[in-house]
Amino acid sequence: MTFGSMRAVVTPQTLIAFENTVYNFAITPDHPVDLNGIIVINYPKNITIPDPSFSQSQCRNFIGFPTTPTCVINSEFRTITINNGFRTVNGIVAG
């Protein structure tokens, strides 16, 4: 597994304190993501995801991925993992 850095902008739809909101992520890796690679987002303890299964189903509107990604939310480890977004390179399908 190759670890790398990325530039990210996270924008909440509302700035009202303690109100539930939707977050939009804009992520730009500093290097190409490997075939079948993943992106892991760690979120802080002050952010809670009350229903990870529902939130996973709402993880959508991806732009710039060669294949359609999916999200896996792990509340225990406080991660959002983006899978399946890098299954092809120049039209070659990964196994």
Residues 6+ positions from 7 with CB-CB distance below 8 Å = 27, 28, 30
| Of residues 94 and 83, more confidently modeled | 83
Q: Say if residue 94's pLDDT is above 80.
A: no
For 10-65, what is each residue's pLDDT tens digit? 899 999 988 888 888 888 888 878 888 888 989 899 888 889 998 888 888 888 88
- Per-residue b or e along 55-85, where b marks 16 or more CB atoms closer than 10 Å to that residue's CB: beeeeeeeeeebeebebebeeeeeebebeeb
Residues in the chain, total: 95
Beta bridge partners of 92: 89
Q: Are 25 and 10 in contact (CB under 8 A)?
A: yes
Whole-number pLDDT of residue 81: 93
